[in-house]
């Protein structure tokens, strides 16, 4: 039987990609160019696809049409918002993500951001680098001890749950909201508006979906206690940039740590770049060596399972998890 063909859309060195997948006895195909034409050339004969974590080579409806033999799509990340799940489901293609692989990394970024904003670390660092000694000014900015803050977490998947665990270990009072309450959670469940109104630090850990886009717009952010802090480790658009800017300028938010934005990369003229109470991150909350190791392990394990006729893990679109060659 002809070997399975695997199209790897990853923006990585070709030798690294081949070293990962060729030992699995598959024919590895790479896009000759990093554009739609190159993507379609790689997909034309592909049985299996490992997607592009940058979203540049999205698995949208056109890409799905251009992959008539596609039997399985593995995303090397947790988010699948660069995939047209409706088109893939209609084509009978199971889509798997790397669920939980970066949960600890994102949780640590969220806690680290909370420390940085509560203690004004970036502000003080910039002043000292400018030759100043802002000891009294720092105290006037009301630095806070983290354990005194009420933490609210919107979204209680693996990232939200791990974030709650870390904040609880620091002595914080932690509440959460999710579509489905978790009886096993040690954090306190609150309805969404109540969560927002009682959170000194609000952490967003939600996926991008029609129901979550714009969920934290200006009206909902206005429910926050005055001087609250927002930490967004979810997806761009869940808290629209314009709403966050307005809340910062009004003083409703005293600070924000943002890893995601409406449009990425963040525009050079975005007002967020000029607000010094904002901690900016280039969608890198989950970018640690350990998280990447975890992702690679999950991807290779799932491709191996597909080739062996065993069910793959973490299918997100409800299609049969046992892969069959077409």
Q: Could you give the residue numbers annotated as active site?
A: 235, 264, 283
CA contacts within 13 A on the Cβ side of 185? 25
Burial of 78 (0-12, 13-18, 19+ CB in 10 A): buried
d(CA 117, CA 143): 8
The string of DSSP codes covering 90-141 is: HTT--EE--TTTTHHHHHHHHHHHHHHHHTTHHHHHHHHHTT---HHHHHHT
What 3-state DSSP class applies to 24?
helix
The structure tokens listed for 58 are 């999205």
What 3-state DSSP class applies to 255?
strand
| 141 CB-near residues (< 8 Å, 6+ apart) | 120, 123
């Amino acid at each position: 039987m002809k070997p399975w063909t695997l199209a790897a859309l990853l923006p990585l060195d070709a030798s690294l990609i081949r070293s990962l997948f060729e030992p699995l006895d598959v024919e590895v195909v790479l896009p000759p160019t990093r554009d739609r034409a190159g993507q379609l050339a790689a997909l034309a004969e592909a049985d299996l696809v490992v997607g592009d974590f940058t979203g540049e080579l999205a698995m949208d409806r056109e890409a799905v049409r251009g992959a008539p033999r596609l039997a399985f799509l593995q995303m090397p990340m947790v988010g699948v918002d660069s995939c047209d799940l409706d088109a893939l489901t209609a084509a009978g293609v199971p889509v798997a993500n790397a669920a939980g692989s970066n949960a600890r990394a994102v949780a640590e970024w969220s806690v680290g951001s909370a420390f940085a904003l509560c203690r004004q670390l970036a502000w003080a660092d910039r002043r000292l680098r400018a030759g100043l000694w802002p000891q009294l000014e720092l105290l006037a900015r009301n630095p806070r001890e983290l354990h005194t803050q009420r933490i609210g977490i919107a979204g209680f998947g693996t990232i939200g749950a791990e974030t709650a665990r870390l904040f609880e270990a620091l002595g914080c009072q932690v509440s959460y909201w999710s579509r489905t309450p978790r009886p096993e959670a040690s954090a306190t469940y609150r309805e969404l508006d109540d969560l927002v109104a009682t959170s000194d630090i609000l952490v967003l850990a939600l996926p991008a979906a029609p129901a979550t886009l714009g969920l934290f717009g200006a009206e909902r952010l206005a429910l926050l206690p005055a001087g609250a802090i927002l930490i967004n480790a979810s997806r761009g658009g869940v808290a629209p940039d314009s709403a966050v800017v307005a809340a910062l300028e009004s003083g409703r938010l005293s600070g924000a740590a943002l890893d995601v934005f409406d449009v990425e990369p963040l525009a050079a003229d975005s007002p967020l770049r000029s607000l010094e109470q904002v901690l900016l991150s280039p969608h890198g909350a989950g970018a640690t060596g350990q998280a990447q190791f975890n992702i690679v392990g999950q991807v290779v394990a799932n491709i191996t399972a597909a080739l062996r006729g065993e069910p793959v893990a973490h299918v997100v679109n409800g299609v049969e998890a046992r892969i069959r060659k077409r």
